[in-house]
Structure 1
């Protein structure tokens, strides 16, 4: 329990709601439920405090990778990546990924949300409804847009302030190629074919504003009806028949049980949510039986449909060292290679320092340079999350299957070529001296380079998807099929990955979950702009 130094002290076992995971969705659900003063909410987080420079200082985000604030997952060896096992980092700290990521606020494309609505069979997941949620969520600091942007909400969002020269150069290069540029990568840009823009960030006065901090604030001064436990690992959902009644968790090495009178909400992310479901007896029957787990609710889709944005690093050498602005990722480009596509298939993220996979870094890296990650906005490859055992400490097995669909390599190569065309244009001549990676290669070598360069954007999702088919795990109200009083609210429920960074869509999922729970339990809704303040009192 993060109130001063009294960690996990005097925590009773009975609550109205238990929210598992304090990431971008779980933080929202816990804060919104706790805004109703007559309910008791327990928020459980496996990681620890976010009050460290590596979290609060945006540009220090790379120092979190591999630290105690990172689950440090690794995908299984992949023949489509020349046998490589790629790292799949994920936040293990208050705020989850919103505390260790680059801080980019990317709301998804209009048609991402229309697809959600179609899969769910519920227009409340559609773009018009989601715009209303974003207006409630945001405290937007850029050019006013009353239709698309919010003011006075809990999440401070601002355009990257005083962007580094490389950010401006990307926009100039895009314009030279006939690609449109916009004031923001959200709003009208993501209602059409795409374009280039300076990023929106969750940064205020040079400090990260994670979703946990935005909605809950200082964990030492939260509402008396909100209890926050850190360093606590959820091991399974407690079931009475097919009704969730609480959770089992590991606290200081001991198994403890906590009970929910109303609901349990899993917001553990796309890896641990399916793991906990399966180890609780909810999932593919053959997978559970293989590990001696009694099948309580057979759901074939648990752990399936794993998706992630894949990217390929292209590195360019500076003529002279350049400053790094904000989090070091200040501009982006989305584009549809075919105008008939409903959503962009290209997703380029600029990083203002040189980054490469270990397998491509050996080809030569500059001391000073920048990277354009040429990424796939909607990869067709699908992976799965499987168990290695029935116990809480048995590691999960992630078969990401990156580039397993042949179209992904084709689109990836087209992305790399667009990236090279942008960076080798006149717009970068005053900054860039030469291309270092991939450099001049024939077609065969470039395909091999792509397989060796492919890395994650850290946007894993889809492993407990929302929908109405046999592979769906939750319905339109985020309720787990066949289990009462159990919902999932995190990136796991995405039927298909959204265009761009997944943090902002996870906040929408959290808000939507909170609304649904409040409606089902007749809880008083908090005024739109006071959610965070009420949770801080």
Structure 2
């Protein structure tokens, strides 16, 4: 169970939060000036910010009240990829409407890095749950997804994990386009990043718009875990996104999207700066029900806001609704497997059998837990040290990514079974190259009904084997000498028989909340989009979110989703 942690705000941090609230119309210009001056900002800076932020709020209020009948582009979803592609289109001069089903991100649960767990199952979470599965002992695993401005970048753990070199080379091979390979993607990362850590001119960028730093002032247990990893043969690196992710893996402190002690979501980086432009409108509380089509050309979208139905047209629609809701919208619009559409009485417009298929997510085991000798307060986002490693030496790249979590982390089964004390810490075994595949499907044509997910976690025997090996490696690390000062006792799982360990793995399995791959990019019959992210058989429709991944990346998915948004921006503005 996670615990809340509150950080005092620095003066600059307060001003940043006030400025974001001003941009979203949550406070007025005069009140902003009063509070920002009281926080210590200079009069000239406050006046400039008040002018720009006030203009943005007024522009957004006007645009929302005077919706156009038609836009150059409609972006469905303001999440990690959607915020990027919307900003890229707006910067190119397009008239852009961004439709977000959720509401504002200007709340403490989003802004405070340590409060991220409080977003789960809140109004900022779509509330999806996987179907019960025998492969996890009949359990129904929760599948949180952001329903808020900024999407997943507003509610998850702020980790900036680029992915492994082999991920993007595999994507390029699947797409038949070298623009997706590692060398090409690395150039995008270098272009957009403002990396605050150890210089690495070959791999890291500075001066870009995307702030990335290594965790600041980490809990002492985090560097101790790196020493523990080295004691069992896992090399520690200064940067989790540098050389380490071009080879066999290693251990490192986390790269994060935290600045001055506050979360920096992707909307703040990309979307907020264009909100004062008259050519972009962010409409929150807008639930898209279907795409409108003329034949096989998408002409716009239907959506509901405040109980009223709206229909808006566009020259291009970009679906960035996430790996569950993007295939849902496609199927409700008649684009998907014909047999599935027939079952829910939706007329098939384009038969694409891959829509909703191939669901993937990383497995996160909750967890291997030790009681502290002396309690340590968690810092940053509660998770500061990680490692990538192969569960089998014959693999070509790492398939596991455990994270150290500075509080006890157990499931609804293992928590009552082992009763971990509050003063405890966790290493959570993680599987980041799953072979199990699930699907997203609909049970009705009601657009307000939730899509269903048959996730099939650990259904492939190789996945269960890899998870068990990861548990064993985490226990070896947690019980090693470099962590002994932090250990009073091992709480769970302890030494178990082979059958007991299989049962523990199934009862402790959870997810990293990295839902993906349900509208994959590729060239085979099950692919949904081509290398340019256009939907096969459909005109005027782009998909830009984690659903297009041919295989989920090795590690947390925020950074690769920014890449997807940037690639969409490059393609659509070329």
What's the TM-score once normalised by structure 2's chain length? 0.88
Q: Does 1:295 align with 2:334?
A: no
Partner of 1:32: 88
Distance 1:423 1:404 in 2: 28
Q: Write out aligned runs for 1:439-454 (5 A).
A: 439-454=494-509
Partner of 1:223: 277
Partner of 2:524: 469
What is the CA-CA distance between 1:179 and the residue it aligns to?
1.1
Partner of 1:55: 110
Partner of 1:128: 183
What is the CA-CA distance between 1:321 and the residue it aligns to?
1.3
Deviations 1:186-217 (A, max 9, x none): 01000000000000000000011100101122
What is the CA-CA distance between 1:295 and the residue it aligns to?
0.2
Is the contact between residue 461 and residue 494 of structure 1 (CA under 8 Å) also seen in structure 2? Answer: yes
Distance 1:399 1:337 in 2: 26
2:407 to 347, 353, 362: 353
Partner of 2:71: 15
Is the contact between residue 2 and residue 230 of structure 1 (CA under 8 Å) also seen in structure 2? Answer: no
Partner of 2:198: 143
Is the contact between residue 408 and residue 426 of structure 2 (CA under 8 Å) also seen in structure 1? Answer: yes
Distance 1:439 1:361 in 2: 14
Is the contact between residue 333 and residue 349 of structure 1 (CA under 8 Å) also seen in structure 2? Answer: yes
Q: Write out aligned runs for 1:60-71 (5 A).
A: 60-71=115-126
Q: Does 1:400 align with 2:423?
A: no
Q: Write out aligned runs for 1:379-398 (5 A).
A: 379-398=434-453
* Gap regions ≥5 residues in structure 2: 1-22, 26-56
SS state of the match for residue 331, structure 2? helix
Distance 2:190 2:424 in 1: 38
Is the contact between residue 92 and residue 573 of structure 2 (CA under 8 Å) also seen in structure 1? Answer: no
What is the CA-CA distance between 1:2 and the residue it aligns to?
5.0
Q: Does 1:276 align with 2:329?
A: yes
SS state of the match for residue 255, structure 1? strand
Is the contact between residue 407 and residue 422 of structure 2 (CA under 8 Å) also seen in structure 1? Answer: no
2:416 to 330, 348, 362: 362
1:204 to 255, 259, 263: 259
Is the contact between residue 23 and residue 94 of structure 1 (CA under 8 Å) also seen in structure 2? Answer: yes
What is the CA-CA distance between 1:218 and the residue it aligns to?
6.5
Partner of 1:161: 216
Query: Is 134-143 or 340-349 further displaced after alignment?
Result: 340-349
What's the TM-score once normalised by structure 1's chain length? 0.94
1:425 to 474, 480, 484: 480
Deviations 1:46-72 (A, max 9, x none): 000000111011011011111110111
Is the contact between residue 73 and residue 88 of structure 1 (CA under 8 Å) also seen in structure 2? Answer: yes
Q: CA RMSD of the aligned region, Å?
A: 1.3
Distance 1:491 1:28 in 2: 13
Distance 1:50 1:205 in 2: 18
Distance 2:278 2:393 in 1: 53
Partner of 2:318: 265
Query: Is 286-295 or 8-17 further displaced after alignment?
Result: 8-17
Q: Write out aligned runs for 1:49-128 (5 A).
A: 49-128=104-183
Greater relative contact order (CA < 8 Å, ≥ 6 in sequence): 1
Greater helix share, structure number: 2
Query: Is 10-19 or 467-476 further displaced after alignment?
Result: 10-19
Note closer, same or farther for the CA distance 1:339–1:450 as it changes in structure 2 (3 Å cut): closer
Aligned residues: 516
What is the CA-CA distance between 1:89 and the residue it aligns to?
0.5
Distance 1:343 1:377 in 2: 11
Distance 1:288 1:218 in 2: 40
Distance 1:9 1:388 in 2: 35
SS state of the match for residue 85, structure 2? helix
SS state of the match for residue 417, structure 1? helix
What is the CA-CA distance between 1:146 and the residue it aligns to?
1.6
Partner of 1:321: 375
Partner of 1:532: none
SS state of the match for residue 119, structure 1? helix
Deviations 1:235-282 (A, max 9, x none): 11111110011011111112211110x210000000000000000000
Partner of 1:533: none
Distance 1:338 1:188 in 2: 21
Distance 2:75 2:397 in 1: 33
Is the contact between residue 216 and residue 222 of structure 1 (CA under 8 Å) also seen in structure 2? Answer: no
Is the contact between residue 114 and residue 381 of structure 2 (CA under 8 Å) also seen in structure 1? Answer: yes
What is the CA-CA distance between 1:170 and the residue it aligns to?
1.0
Distance 1:446 1:342 in 2: 26
Is the contact between residue 84 and residue 566 of structure 2 (CA under 8 Å) also seen in structure 1? Answer: yes
Distance 2:187 2:393 in 1: 28
Query: Is 317-326 or 293-302 further displaced after alignment?
Result: 317-326
SS state of the match for residue 228, structure 1? strand
Deviations 1:403-448 (A, max 9, x none): 1101111111000000000000111111111111112322111111
SS state of the match for residue 362, structure 1? helix
Is the contact between residue 155 and residue 209 of structure 1 (CA under 8 Å) also seen in structure 2? Answer: no
SS state of the match for residue 22, structure 1? coil
Distance 1:149 1:171 in 2: 22
Distance 1:444 1:390 in 2: 43
Distance 2:531 2:353 in 1: 18
